[in-house]
Structure 1
Amino acid sequence: MALADDGSNPGMTGSAGGMLTGRLSAMMFMQFFVWGAWTVTLGLVMQTVGIGNLIGNAFSVGPIASIVGSFLLGMAAARYVAPRMLMVILHLIGGVLLFVLPSLVTPEKGGTFVWLLLCYMILYMPTVGLANTIALKSFGERTDKFPFVRAFGTLGWITAGLIIGWAGLSASPEIFRVAAVVSIALGLYSFTLPNVTADAPRDESVLRQVFCVEAFGLLKQRSFLIFMTCATLISIPLAMYYAYASPYVGATGISNVGGTLAIGQMSELVFMFSMPWLYRRFGVKPLLLVGMAAWALRYALFAIGDGGSSIWAVYLGVALHGVCYDFFFVAGAIYTGTIATPKGVNAQAQGMLTLFTYGVGMLLGSQIGALLYAQLPAAPTIADWQHMWWYPAIAAAVIALLFQFTFRDDTRKIAA
């Protein structure tokens, strides 16, 4: 695998390896700070300003952007433009749009707000896969280092939530301007990232490249097809957490919503550091299964949590985020890289994972969640919220059972 002579050679050790890890960790910190600064409490913001009926649409733009961005930018990321230069361009332009968004979060301009948010997310969502690609390609065979670097993304999300909460901005449109500052900073910082090479060009038509045919060819492997199917399905109930956790937590009487939801990322950080050992020790299937089961348990806790004697269930449900996210999405990214490496389509495969999870799955989840939310009264009570959370709880449990009885980890058999 060819890399630029910028210290990103995965074979380097000592201070050079430490510098590479530090550079990639800073990238991940800012990458997820930008997202965490606004998405965590956006539902509360929209409900507060009187456009709660648009929450479902607002949280559908990310999935739509994942789909559009994967096709429009997948070819460039995988073939023609260096990943770091795409990071520069997308984060700089995205930062400008973030500065504009707060002025549109009003009942009169709510529709325009959703459309501009869609434009922003078309720019942002591909950078999630790009960041993974830069880190994984920089480390080469040392994929066990990836969870450590990815942990700094979680730390960035935590820091964003704490700042928003402590500043009293949990219900304010100004959350977008906080994200804008860091987006601009990341765009400029991306000039310094390792210049990993694009996937080797293949003798194929432009149309095949645009639609990432090589990456989709990985789905011919039964185990990878089942993984991608279950990853898509579990993202449906996942979407409801991102969209409605903040108004639900606010309804329990908790005032520092941003800080409270940051507890979930704190637990994510704890489990992140154990991922290399867990992945080597148990393989991908047990980790993915535990992650899916944790989603079912989390929603069940939300379904019994309230602002009184059962407030513990709310905090515990939030704290489960570490298991929910790390055991499924981080392990899933490593597994995807393992399957894609022999074919030389890492960038496309990571983009495809984003397409199916943050794209198709969360789009379906956002719209289904919007239908369920529409059944609630204008000012939902705790009892109303509890009833709604049973639906994703049952769905996640069914998906976990489906995965348990159909998935087999072929990579461990090959390695053995």
Structure 2
Amino acid sequence: MNSTIRIKLSVMMFLEFFIWGAWFVTLGTYLAINLQASGSETASVFSTQSWGAIIAPFIIGLIADRYFNAEKILGILHIAGALLMYQMYQSEQVGMFYTYVLGYMILYMPTLALVNSVAFNQMKDPEKEFPNIRVWGTIGWILAGLSISYVFHWDSSEGVTQGLLKNTFLLSGIAAFVLGIFSFALPKTSPKIVSNEKIRVADLLGLDALKLLKDKNFAIFFISSILICIPLAFYYQNAHPFLTSAGIENPTGKMAIGQISEALFLLLIPVFFVRYGFKKTILVGMLAWAIRYALFAYGNGGDLSFMLIIGIALHGICYDFFFVSGQIYTNSKAGDKYKSAAQGLITLATYGVGMLVGFAVAGWITDNYKMIDGTINWQMVWIIPAGIAFAVFLLFALLFDSKKEKEIKAI
């Protein structure tokens, strides 16, 4: 890969995740304070991510893989997304806001697969080359959070009160428009499937990989993956409003610690695989979710604020040790025949079904622990997902038989 293409792909990844990180992190606070959304209404808005993940395979399989170059569809989707982001910026009612977010997520979620497709198409050795390109996405997410907190100060107590968080949608919209135009200058990525080939829904959703569920261990992993997404949804939906209400200064910038942690712990996964094996590695990830939420439940924005920061920093272990390890495990179990289908099925099950349920549960719990004065009993809001995560930990620890598994290589 020449340096020009490497730079283009890095810029693509940077903008792709800068867009997401610039508005999604602060969304819960914006909905609660600026649009006076209830817990269930907030859950509905966040669940658009899951609907986008469910619909994405159809957009990719029916259009991107058959008729048009990936980079052109990427450009069109981001330009259209920029227009919807501007509508979100102008929206003042949660009902209309939901409509725009749903439309945006249906357009945005397919781009996650498209940027990977464009990148992989230029690589001769993806295992070595892709991490160096993908890391720019994490950097983009981190810089979005740092900019909101330390450059624009939109998430300060004054900024939130004055409604400045709405500017995050304008920032994301501008970045989306830039990426949309820039996409047409990316390397050409032609359709991979002949347009007149027969379309199978099972192929689009990865349903052929359901045959892997005959393996007891994989079935346990599959169920655990769905269940662990319930507590995961609590973090996405409630972490920023919680930190804001706790009085943590620059909460968006501090939440970027989670992405820094994610990048660092990604490097430790091969070490854990070699030394401890898949089961212990993934159990550490599950247990980290329970510990993180316990820290949130009993920490505060004053003398125990360090507990909240540690909880944020645990994001690397929570995400990498479970989800990345799970992708590696899925790849090893599926083999060449079901490799793509299995990854698609896991994505559909977690970001689609699992988080859809998780957002609904998180919204219901938040509403049920809202006091008469409008404040929220955050301790109970975090204890419940901590208990769910620990239950999933016990389920996997007791039922998954590592003795029946062959050695799995991290790389």
TM-score by length of 1: 0.83
Indicate the residue corresponding to 1:13 in structure 2: none
Alignment CA distance shift 1:213-1:320 (3 Å): closer
Runs of at least 5 residues in structure 1 that lack an aligned partner in the other structure: 1-6, 8-15
Deviates more, 1:74-83 or 1:306-315: 74-83
In the alignment, the residues of structure 1 paired with residue 391 and residue 234 of structure 2 have an alpha-carbon distance, to the nearest angstrom, of: 16
Per the TM alignment, residue 400 of structure 1 is displaced from its structure 2 partner at its CA by 2.0
Query: Residue 284 of structure 1 contacts residue 335 of structure 1 at CA under 8 Å; is this kept in 2?
Result: yes
* Residues 55-106 of structure 1, C-alpha deviations (whole Å, 9 max, x = no match): 11111111122112233434434555444333222222112211221111x2
How many residue pairs get aligned? The number is: 395
User: Does 2:317 correspond to 1:293?
Assistant: no
- Equivalent position to 2:84, from 78, 92, 97: 97
- Equivalent position to 2:244, from 244, 247, 250: 250
Indicate the residue corresponding to 1:412 in structure 2: 407
Runs of at least 5 residues in structure 2 that lack an aligned partner in the other structure: none
- Equivalent position to 1:44, from 29, 44, 57: 29
In the alignment, the residues of structure 2 paired with residue 214 and residue 412 of structure 1 have an alpha-carbon distance, to the nearest angstrom, of: 25
Indicate the residue corresponding to 2:142 in structure 1: 158
Indicate the residue corresponding to 1:10 in structure 2: none
User: Does 2:10 correspond to 1:25?
Assistant: yes
User: Does 2:125 correspond to 1:130?
Assistant: no
Query: Residue 270 of structure 1 contacts residue 322 of structure 1 at CA under 8 Å; is this kept in 2?
Result: yes
In the alignment, the residues of structure 2 paired with residue 194 and residue 24 of structure 1 have an alpha-carbon distance, to the nearest angstrom, of: 9
Alignment CA distance shift 1:340-1:74 (3 Å): farther
Per the TM alignment, residue 23 of structure 1 is displaced from its structure 2 partner at its CA by 4.1
Question: How much identity, in percent, do the aligned residues show?
Answer: 39
User: Does 2:359 correspond to 1:366?
Assistant: yes
Per the TM alignment, residue 301 of structure 1 is displaced from its structure 2 partner at its CA by 0.5
TM-score by length of 2: 0.84
Three-state SS of the structure 1 residue aligned to 2:357 is helix
RMSD, matched Cα: 3.0
Deviates more, 1:269-278 or 1:42-51: 269-278
Indicate the residue corresponding to 2:387 in structure 1: 394
* Residues 238-272 of structure 1, C-alpha deviations (whole Å, 9 max, x = no match): 00111111111011111312112112122222223
Alignment CA distance shift 1:135-1:286 (3 Å): farther
Alignment CA distance shift 1:286-1:380 (3 Å): farther
- Equivalent position to 1:241, from 235, 245, 263: 235
In the alignment, the residues of structure 2 paired with residue 215 and residue 195 of structure 1 have an alpha-carbon distance, to the nearest angstrom, of: 30
Per the TM alignment, residue 218 of structure 1 is displaced from its structure 2 partner at its CA by 4.9
Query: Residue 89 of structure 1 contacts residue 187 of structure 1 at CA under 8 Å; is this kept in 2?
Result: yes
Indicate the residue corresponding to 1:321 in structure 2: 315
Indicate the residue corresponding to 1:12 in structure 2: none
* Residues 379-416 of structure 1, C-alpha deviations (whole Å, 9 max, x = no match): 5657x10121001001111112222334448463699x
Deviates more, 1:87-96 or 1:220-229: 220-229
Deviates more, 1:153-162 or 1:188-197: 188-197
In the alignment, the residues of structure 2 paired with residue 205 and residue 367 of structure 1 have an alpha-carbon distance, to the nearest angstrom, of: 33
Query: Residue 233 of structure 2 contacts residue 359 of structure 2 at CA under 8 Å; is this kept in 1?
Result: yes
Matches within 5 A, 1:172-191: 172-191=165-184
Counterpart code for 1:294? A
Query: Residue 207 of structure 2 contacts residue 345 of structure 2 at CA under 8 Å; is this kept in 1?
Result: no
Counterpart code for 2:147? I
Query: Residue 65 of structure 1 contacts residue 118 of structure 1 at CA under 8 Å; is this kept in 2?
Result: yes
Three-state SS of the structure 2 residue aligned to 1:253 is coil
Per the TM alignment, residue 337 of structure 1 is displaced from its structure 2 partner at its CA by 4.6
In the alignment, the residues of structure 2 paired with residue 23 and residue 345 of structure 1 have an alpha-carbon distance, to the nearest angstrom, of: 28
Alignment CA distance shift 1:378-1:400 (3 Å): same
